[in-house]
Structure 1
Amino acid sequence: MHNAQPWHFSYARSSRTFTLSADLERAMAHADPTTRGLHLGCGAALLNLRVAASHAGHRTSTTLLPDPHAPALLAAVRLDDPHAHMDESLAGLHPAIRNRHTSRFPFTERQIPDNLRAALSEAADREGAQLSFLTTPHRETVLDLIVHAEGYNRMDDGRDAEQRRWTHDTAAGPAVDDGIPHYAFGPRKRAGAAPLRDFAGRDSVPGRGYADFEKHPQLASLGTTGDTPADWLRAGQALERVLLLATLQGLAASFAAQPVEWPDLRWILRDPQSGTGYVHMILRLGYGPHGPRTPRRPVDQVLTVTQ
């Protein structure tokens, strides 16, 4: 959420094991009181580690929540485990890690081919999650929920202050290594139905323009059958796997997480046909600009290496 990067990795040379822990100082008490969103972000970082390890020729085994007495310890990844399953497709996703960015810019009306939609759904399934492209009228219901949730956010003083903390005017202040800089906000929406989170909130950004967005946004929901911290981590890995594959296939993406962050709206996001499962993210996918790079924390802040 908000490019907070709430993770810390440790690597023990003796056991050839990475551990992933939540950096709870970067949690968002108002928008994410259960830390579900934090777990999603850490799950995405975990998938990137697995991809990088596979690219380097390592076979890995991953254990989620390895210590029930330490809930902030989210995962352990052992390198070169002889009993681990080798996922040959992970290494091919590696080029997309650096190129994947959230895009808050207009997409074209070009439709995503059915075979690519199926491949993205399969990518989520490989991580234990379900990706479903929304169809009308459910899509229209979800679009309405996003609008309502965006309004709720603006009226909530705590959430508004929290969002302000994670947005930065890089032209007027020192360089930062986290959060959402003004240049990544994208233009304000003049027309169109595409769902966007306006990181300007109640403020205005000088020189920020307007643009027409797509009339028929292509939305997909990502969910799991359960709603536990382990499910959140699986969903985060599935989310990143979908995004990396989408990037390789020339798609741009953004998030529409606003209604997922409000419990009274989240349950309405369920597929009306199945009525089961828990939605963790609404994705907007399409063809358009991939968006600018946002800052990343330096390695020495997010990785500790021990003997």
Structure 2
Amino acid sequence: MNVLARCVAAATLAPSLHNSQPWRFRITGRDVRVYADHSRQLDALDASGRELLISVGAALFTLRLALRAQGWRTTYALFPEPDSPHLVARVLLDREDPPPETVTTLAEAIARRHTNRWPFADSVVSADAIEELRLAAADQGAALTIAGPVARNAILGLGHQAERHLRNEGRYRAELSRWTRPTPGRHDGVPPAAIGPWDAIERMPIRDFGLVHPQPWRTNEFFEAHPTIAVLATLGDGPENWVRAGQALQHVLLVATRLRLATTPISQPIEVPAIRELLTDTAADRWAQMIIRIGYGPQAAVTPRRPLSEVLESDQ
């Protein structure tokens, strides 16, 4: 496997909604093209494709980071061909340049990053760590804001409201069933090991992936009383902004992993338009794209990935 293919393999480890992995790649010479795979779009949750492009953006950032760690500087363009709407980005190898240690250590976190749906410790995340996460988001053109106690409680309440709203929709439950159905040898979706426990007092609005298929082994656990909750936002709310949000999200998650922090992207409040409006400052054109729970938690389970042969085409 050549360098470009290895870096594409790293990109497939990015997070995605329901682990749907809605991306494809094509290598042509020194060029890697990143496509959105709309056949894997979650229509009930994501009719606009916003979260699909956030997922593709996360994969794009991972690809760029992996290439830089391999000693390549790159340039890239978003939506470079107006007549090819599925083509999200074109990444071009520019020149060789040894990577700094900061890049290699961040790239080492790619394989260790996993969504953690378990209770976190009641420990405060340090101000220095928060600042690193904030700078990671800003580096990709997004803003990460840590919610204060009042805002945090409001966001958690909105999260529960959104979760209840979604559970009442038959299309949502059917979609959840498709992506959590335990199937031997499956390479996508959320497996039982990654679902996590029940929240004993329903404090944390983590999506209940055990809603449809019974999980008799699941335990009731008490989640942290004062979670660290961050809101990731962008200026503007179009396809390029969504890709930018995905790149910022992955940069934040990888920095958190390097700092040995656990993370849980929480998207339900952003998936219900009326609730998303409460988290968005439309007057300032500042749009909430994702909520992230941050803390110190146990090791999370690995989720499967599709074989490279399913997502990569090469003209070489």
Deviations 1:166-203 (A, max 9, x none): 0032xxx4120000011111000113633311011244
Give the match's secondary structure for 2:75.
strand
Distance 1:81 1:204 in 2: 52
TM-score where L is the length of structure 1: 0.93
Tell me what 2:22 maps to: 6
Query: Would the alpha carbon gap of residues 202 and 296 (structure 1) be closer, same or farther in structure 2, given more than 3 Å must change?
Result: closer
Asked if structure 2 preserves the Cα contact closer than 8 Å seen for 1:102 and 1:290, the reply is no
Matches within 5 A, 1:49-198: 49-80=63-94, 89-169=102-182, 173-191=183-201, 193-198=203-208
Deviation at 1:89, TM superposition (A): 4.4
1: distance between equivalents of 2:50 and 2:100?
27
Contact 1:224–1:279, Cα closer than 8 Å, also in 2: yes
Q: Deviations over 1:148-182 (max 9, x none)?
A: 1111111000011011110032xxx4120000011
Deviation, structure 1 residue 228: 0.8
RMSD: 1.9
Which of 280, 283, 298 is 1:289 aligned to?
298
Rounded to whole Å, the distance in 2 between the matches of 1:194 and 1:19 is 38
Residue aligning to 2:256:
246
Which moves more between the two structures, 66-75 or 222-231? 66-75
- Contact 2:236–2:285 under 8 Å retained in 1: no
Provide runs of 4+ in structure 1 moved above 4 Å.
86-89
Q: Which 5+ residue runs of structure 1 have no aligned equivalent?
A: none
TM-score (norm 2): 0.90
- Contact 2:177/2:212 (<8 A) preserved: no
Q: Report the number of matched residues.
A: 299
Question: Which of 280, 288, 291 in structure 2 is aligned with 1:279?
Answer: 288
What is the deviation of 1:141? 1.3
Q: Verify: 1:232 aligned to 2:245, yes or no.
A: no
Q: Secondary structure at the match of 2:109?
A: helix
Q: Determine helix, strand or coil for the equivalent of 1:59.
A: strand
Distance in structure 2 (CA, Å) of the matches to 1:168 and 1:180: 8
Task: Give the match's secondary structure for 1:107.
Answer: coil
Report what 1:302 is aligned to.
311
Paired residue secondary structure (1:196): coil
* Residue identity opposite 1:161 in structure 2: A
In the TM superposition, residue 270 of structure 1 has moved relative to its aligned partner by 3.0
Give the 3 Å change call, closer, same or farther, for CA 62–290 of structure 1 in structure 2.
farther
Contact in 2 for aligned 1:100/1:290 (Cα 8 Å): no
Alpha-carbon distance in structure 2 between the residues aligned to 1:190 and 1:138: 23
Shift in CA distance, 301/285, structure 1 to aligned 2, threshold 3 Å: same
Q: C-alpha separation between the residues in 2 aligned to 1:256 and 1:196? A: 6
Give the % identical residues.
39
Which is helix-richer, 1 or 2?
2
Q: Which moved more, 1:128-137 or 1:195-204?
A: 195-204
Aligned equivalent of 2:36? 22
Separation (CA, whole Å) in 2 of partners of 1:255 and 1:265: 17
- 1:87 and 1:35, CA in 2 relative to 1: closer, same or farther beyond 3 A? farther
Aligned partner of residue 288 in structure 1, secondary structure: coil
Summarize deviations over 1:273-292 as a string: whole Å, max 9, x none. x9650011000000011310
The SS at the match of 1:80 is: strand
CA distance in 1, matches of 2:240, 2:102: 23
Tell me how far 1:142 sits from its aligned partner. Answer: 0.8
Residue 44 of structure 1 aligns with which residue? Answer: 58
Q: How far apart, in 2, do the equivalents of 1:116 and 1:194 lie?
A: 22
CA distance in 1, matches of 2:171, 2:264: 24
| Compared CA separation, residues 217 and 100, structure 1 to 2 (3 A) | same
**Following the alignment from structure 1 to structure 2, what is the Cα–Cα distance between the partners of residues 129 and 89?**
21
